């Protein structure tokens, strides 16, 4: 089975409610998911690395304004974009992450630079931005990240805060990818603008290795989406890997236990995508929907939004 290859991607677990989705919008989402998946899949199909595949897929999703990552990222409480991203190589457990960054066109590519060239695993804020400039990564001004849809979401969240309503309508549009290449290597990457109206300086699960992002050739590769605080507290991605490694559980069983039982118990709304070393794919979620897709060299090609 050494030449099994597959990729799974997500565009977040906070999908538009089925009742407000239009056929035109659905087509746009599905088209963007398919294009990102194809970009990543082409790399592993041609014997490239899982790392390159997840970076390419996530960068493609970051460039698409309807997802909450880079272009189209949500606003924090003070009306700024603060983005988080991570990437991990299952072959050697190398990882890179950035948190609270602005102006970086593709935070996932900065995370990879951090992994390869910084001597560190995670860089935050201004230091991360300075590093991006030093590595000559494309930068954009604030306007690039702005979308009217996110602005309106932020405004209504601010209003709810004023009247102290519950935040029941959080939007999770984070993006991520996991892949297995023909050399048997796994990789995972995640990128997000975080939660709408989050506090200035808040960091979610996406850049936290073991929480929102994890890859290990002995087990699986995982990218999460959902309420970051609960995913951090549950160490979701690493928990699934551990259940497989120490308890011998299958990928699907481990994912179901963590997403459909453990997270549900603490109201940890969200989901994840996962692929194991044999090419099995799981995409569990406990929310109404999750933008997602998967493709492998066994002929599977799916793009889905709702259950």
Task: List residues binding ligand ASP (CB under 6 A).
Answer: 12, 14, 68, 172-174, 192, 194-195, 204-206, 212, 225-226, 228
What distance in Å separates the CA atoms of residue 127 and residue 112, rounded to the nearest whole number? 15
Q: 6 or 12, CB closer to ligand ASP?
A: 12
User: 132 and 101 in contact (C-beta within 8 Å)?
Assistant: yes
Smallest distance from ligand ASP to CB 288, Å: 14
The answer to whether 32 and 166 have CB atoms below 8 angstroms apart is: no
What is 228-293 written as a DSSP string?
HHHHHHTTHHHHHHHHHHHH---HHHHHIIIIIIIHHHTT--EEEEEEETT--EE--BSSSEEEEE
> Distance between CA atoms of 10 and 298, rounded to whole angstroms?
20
| Minimum gap (Å) between residue 242 Cβ and ligand ASP | 20
Q: Do the beta carbons of residue 181 and residue 53 sit within 8 Å?
A: yes
* Choice between 75 and 172, CB closer to ligand ASP: 172
Helices (H) and strands (E) in the chain, counts: 10, 12
Distance of closest approach, residue 14 Cβ to ligand ASP, in angstroms: 6
- 174 is a catalytic site residue: yes
DSSP 39-93: HHHHHHHTT--HHHHHHHHHHHHHHSTTSSSSTTPPP-TTS---EEEEEEETTTT
Per annotation, catalytic residue among 15, 174, 190, 219 = 174
Residue 200 per-residue DSSP state: T
Q: Record the tokens describing residue 154, joined without a space.
A: 């932020």
**Smaller CB distance to ligand ASP: residue 40 or 204?**
204
The distance between the two most distant Cα atoms of the chain, rounded to a whole number of Å, is 57
Judged by CB, which is closer to ligand ASP: 48, or 210?
A: 210
Q: Using the minimum distance from each CB to ligand ASP, give the nearer residue, 166 or 298.
A: 166
| Closer of 191 and 217 to ligand ASP (Cβ) | 191
CB of 70 to ligand ASP, least distance (A): 13
Please report how close the Cβ of residue 206 comes to ligand ASP at its closest, in angstroms. Answer: 5
| Least separation in angstroms between CB 5 and ligand ASP | 26
Retrieve residue 257's tokens. 């236990």
- Active site residue ranges: 174
């Amino acid at each position: 089975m050494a030449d099994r290859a597959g990729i799974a991607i997500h565009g977040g677990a906070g999908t538009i409610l089925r009742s407000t989705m239009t056929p035109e919008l659905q087509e746009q989402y599905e088209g963007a998911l398919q294009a990102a998946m194809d970009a990543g899949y082409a790399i592993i199909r041609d014997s490239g690395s899982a790392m390159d595949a997840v970076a390419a897929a996530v960068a493609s999703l970051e460039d698409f304004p309807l997802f909450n990552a880079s272009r189209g990222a949500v606003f924090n409480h003070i009306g700024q974009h603060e983005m988080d991203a991570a990437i991990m190589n299952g072959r050697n457990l190398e990882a890179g992450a950035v948190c609270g960054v602005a102006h970086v066109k593709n935070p996932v590519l900065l995370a990879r630079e951090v992994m390869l060239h910084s001597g560190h695993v995670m860089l935050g804020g201004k230091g991360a931005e300075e590093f991006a400039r030093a590595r000559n990564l494309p930068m954009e001004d604030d306007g690039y990240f702005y979308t009217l849809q996110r602005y309106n979401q932020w405004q209504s969240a601010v209003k709810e805060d004023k009247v102290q309503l519950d935040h029941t309508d959080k939007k999770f549009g984070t993006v991520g990818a996991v892949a297995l290449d023909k050399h048997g290597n796994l990789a995972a990457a995640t990128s997000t603008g975080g939660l709408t109206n989050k506090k200035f300086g808040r960091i979610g699960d996406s850049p936290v290795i073991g929480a929102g992002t994890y890859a290990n050739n002995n087990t699986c590769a995982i990218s999460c989406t959902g309420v970051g605080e609960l995913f951090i507290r549950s160490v979701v991605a690493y928990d699934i890997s551990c259940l497989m490694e120490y308890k011998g559980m299958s990928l699907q069983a481990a994912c179901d236990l963590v997403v459909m039982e453990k997270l549900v118990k603490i109201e940890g709304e969200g989901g994840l995508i996962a692929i194991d070393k044999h090419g099995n794919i799981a995409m569990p979620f406990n929310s109404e929907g999750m933008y997602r897709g998967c493709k492998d060299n066994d002929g599977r090609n799916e793009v889905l939004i709702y259950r």
